[in-house]
Structure formats: C-alpha cells, structure tokens
Amino acid sequence: MRQQKSQGDKLRHLRWWQSELGDCVVSDVTPALIAQYRNKLANGITQMGAVRSPATVVRYLAALSHAFSLAVREWECLDANPVLKVTKPKEPRGRVRFLSDQEHERLLSACESSQNPYLNIVVLLALSTLKRQASLRF
C-alpha cells in the first residue's frame, strides 16, 4: 500500500513540474529557473489550505531530479542535472521516540524466541548504545 501511495505522490509531483515547466525545452531549464519554481511551490497553498512543508518541497525536487538524471544518464539529452545545483529547503529533524517499558520487554522477548542466535545480543547492544546516547542529550 505504501509503495502505491509513494508512486502516486511522485506522479503528482511530476505533473506539477510538467504544468510549470512543460513548455520549456529541456536544455533551457536552468538551476535559476528551478529555484524560481521551488519558491513558488514552497509558498503555494495546498488543497488542505496549508503552506507546503519543506519536506514536501524536497520530495517534489527529488522527483524532478530523478527525471533529469534519466535525461543525463540514459537518454544523453543533457550533460548535467540542473536540480543538483538548486538549494533544497532545510527539513526539520525527525521525531525522536523511545520505547516504553512494555514495548522494550516485548521486543526483548521476541528477540529471545527468535531462531536467529545473534538477534538478541545485537538488539541488546543497540538498545544499550541508544540509552547512552539519549542520556548525553542536553
């Protein structure tokens, strides 16, 4: 299901770029032009009435970059991908979540009952390392 949604998102992103840049010759698409439309995209209002998040703008740029990478590598229409020269919006740091005591116990129990003899020790090591890292945060 997630892959289908992701493909649908990419198609929607590419259609947006097509509506904006579709009249341009591929060789005329410059980093400055892409940056201009990046700004338009970032300041645009979504169907839900909100401003697009930086993460969404980055995903739109990624879809366009992939298309230009194909044009460079496989079709040899261009010498370089102009999207690579465009500054991407800074995305906020992802959410940090810790396991509850109950989740921690269930995870260790599942690891102990696993047929993989190394899983339990690897998970214990990872959890111990994460605990130390979490205690170092200010």
Q: What band does 135 get if pLDDT is binned at 50, 70 and 90?
A: low
Q: Determine the pLDDT at residue 4.
A: 63
* Distance, C-alpha 24 to centroid of its chain: 27
Question: What percentage of the chain exceeds 70 in pLDDT?
Answer: 91
The helix/strand/coil state of 26 is: helix
**pTM across the whole model:** 0.68
Average pLDDT over residues 75-84: 95
Residue 108 has pLDDT above 90, yes or no: yes
pLDDT averaged over every residue in the chain: 89
Average pLDDT over residues 88-104: 87
Q: Determine the pLDDT at residue 138.
A: 41
Q: Nearest CA to 12 among 70, 50, 62?
A: 62
The helix/strand/coil state of 20 is: helix
Q: Nearest CA to 16 among 62, 50, 53?
A: 62
How far apart are the C-alpha atoms of 70 and 102, rounded to whole Å? 48
Q: What band does 43 get if pLDDT is binned at 50, 70 and 90?
A: very high
